[in-house]
Structure 1
Amino acid sequence: MLLDNKVTIVTGASRGIGKAIALLFAKEGAKISAIARTEEDLKKLKSEIESNNGTCLIFKGDVSNEKDVKNAVEKTIEQFGKIDILINNAGFGIYKPVVELTVDEFDSMVGVNFRGVFLFTKYVLPYMMKQNSGVIINISSIAGTLGVKNMAVYAATKWAVNGFTESIMHEVREYNIRVASLCPGSVDTNFSNVAGSNPPARNKVLKPEDVAQTALLIATLPERAMLSHLILRPTNPK
């Protein structure tokens, strides 16, 4: 197994890309620590992983809440004694012109999409630095590399994630910690189905499993090699 005994935290793990990553990494031998807001979906994920002889801890919580983040990290350490991989996946978008966005909607997107990445990175890194190894993969978006109409704040949070990722990579590479941003284009999830007035056909866009396979590639490169920024696009979305 490619990830035998690797302890992996996955945020936003109850559905979509996060769930696909949790399932694939568990299949490859990782011990999963999953956090999301929807407890019922988390229980389904746990059942699916454990029915295939995997290991899964679940935490109902908000990645923008410092107390929830600290609890998930500390309980993961208590249970497994280490953290090898962190997948910062939780995120969402509200698609409106800026003049129609409320301040609360702005704060929510910044909180989940960027503050959550900061908090989990902040509290996981000391353990990775102590063990002199680790992988952090931040699931960003192609919207973090270009401007998109009616997605200004969402795109801004993903630009922030990409800048944060690049900077953190330079801070911790001396500890043999690899930090990467993975930027998918359109993915066939409930998240992307609300984007735009004329979204690509579902059979043309990426699947969550495609993103999961790419995250697995990043996580399983030889320790001497690091993919720091990757854009994953549908081949032919038209």
Structure 2
Amino acid sequence: MNLAQSISLVTGAGRGIGRAIALAMAKEGATVLLTARTVPELEAVRREIETGGGKAVAMPADVTSDDQLHALFDAIEKRFKRLDLLVNNAGIGRFAPFTSLSVADLDSMWKLNVRAVFLCSQRAVRLMEVQKGGAIINISSLAGKNSFAGGSGYSATKWALMGFSKTLMLEVREHNIRVITVCPGSVDTTFSTLQKDSLRSEKILHPADVAETVLAAIRLPDRAMVSEIDIRPTNPK
């Protein structure tokens, strides 16, 4: 896919991996639609993209709210008439021993990590089927393949996302829609206190590394699809 002139939506675009992906796609010539709940962060990313000569539109929304999610996609359809690329990046992690994890934390992770991805993808596919092509990038995690103590709820949502992504890929490829699942290992972000170790920050992945991985998969000819990518630190010790 050639990102130049594309309309690309990134969820969770205000910080971390989402921000890095948005910046990278803007440099490739995409019009990047930025969505997240925190308006000041979105506006900061939008300004950064525009200062660099790129194109971006801040479209604040809480994708765990059905009303806000559908309003977001209604606005995209009305204004742009198409959507070439969806990056389902927004996610949340709550880490605690199984016996201590609250139902509220489990529900919040499920709503954002799984349900919102399902609904965003559903709306995106409707547009992509009409235009006979597109791509959906789901940012998962190695926690969707490798279990770890303290991650029962988070891993459950990421294993669910892996299963959903594989099934979605099989269903929509006949419409020339690619579904690419990216599974990062430890990334130097504010996502989890488990990763806040200054001594490791230069050895674990950076958001830009994940963004470059996404771009590499997207740049392939439309006839080729990398359906799943694991990316991990070379030597995190």
Fold agreement, TM-score > 0.5: yes
Preserved CA contact (<8 Å) 2:188 2:196: no
Cα shift at 1:59: 2.0
Tell me the residue number matched to 1:205.
204
Q: Deviations over 1:62-114 (max 9, x none)?
A: 11111111121121222222100000000011110111111111100101111
In the aligned structure 2, how far is the partner of 1:196 from the partner of 1:99? 22
**Where in structure 2 are there 5+ consecutive unaligned residues?**
none
Tell me the residue number matched to 1:234.
233
Counterpart mapping for 1:77-226 below 5 A: 77-192=77-192, 194-195=193-194, 201-226=200-225
Cα shift at 1:198: 7.4
TM-score, normalization: structure 2? Answer: 0.96
- The runs of at least 4 consecutive aligned structure 1 residues that moved more than 3 Å come to 196-200
In the aligned structure 1, how far is the partner of 2:130 from the partner of 2:58? 25
Cα distance change on mapping 1:77 and 1:206 into 2, 3 Å: same
Cα distance change on mapping 1:197 and 1:72 into 2, 3 Å: closer
Preserved CA contact (<8 Å) 1:200 1:237: no
Cα distance change on mapping 1:197 and 1:221 into 2, 3 Å: closer
Percent identity between the two aligned chains: 44
TM-score, normalization: structure 1? Answer: 0.96
Tell me the residue number matched to 1:3.
3
Cα shift at 1:197: 9.2
In the aligned structure 1, how far is the partner of 2:199 from the partner of 2:229? 21
Preserved CA contact (<8 Å) 1:95 1:196: no
Cα distance change on mapping 1:212 and 1:197 into 2, 3 Å: closer
Preserved CA contact (<8 Å) 1:97 1:150: yes
SS for the counterpart of 1:98 is coil
Preserved CA contact (<8 Å) 2:25 2:215: yes
Preserved CA contact (<8 Å) 1:185 1:232: yes
* Number of residue equivalences: 237
SS for the counterpart of 1:60 is coil
